[in-house]
Amino acid sequence: QVRLVESGGRLVQAGGSLRLSCAASGRIFDFYRMAWFRQPPGKERVRVAGIYGADNSAYYTDSVKGRFTISRDNAKNTLYLQMNRLTPEDTAVYYCAADSKVRAGTVYDYWGQGTQVTVSS
């Protein structure tokens, strides 16, 4: 059974930075793609960044491009999300997701429990 555990979320001031981590119980090398989603209060969960394939291709939603960076360390079985120049609009619960299947879309095999990020103005 694969388990994903997020960490790194906390209260931060606008303009600050955070790095989220997602530790996997299994080998993330086995996952074709991984992603970070977020769910702001009262809103739907959306994907903000993803990484896939052997060459670690990455993609970002427009609102975080140039500010967030997704990366994976296969040796540490960990996925990261570096978040810079945070704004109150980035406030959300952030979730890690992993998928062993070669497919697109927002359906992933495995999910973490989430970590809260709160950005104060």
Which of the four pLDDT bands, split at 50, 70 and 90, describes residue 30? confident
Q: Point out which residues pair with 98 in neighbouring strands.
A: 34, 110
Place of tokens 């978040």: 83
DSSP state of 106: S
Count CB neighbours of 89 within 10 A.
11
Instruction: Name the pLDDT band for 54 (thresholds 50, 70, 90).
Output: confident
* Residues 14-33, mean pLDDT to the nearest whole number: 91
Neighbouring CB atoms inside 10 A of 6's CB total 22
Q: How many CB atoms lie within 10 A of CB 80?
A: 19
Assign 31 to helix, strand or coil: coil
Among residues of the chain, what percentage have pLDDT more than 70?
100
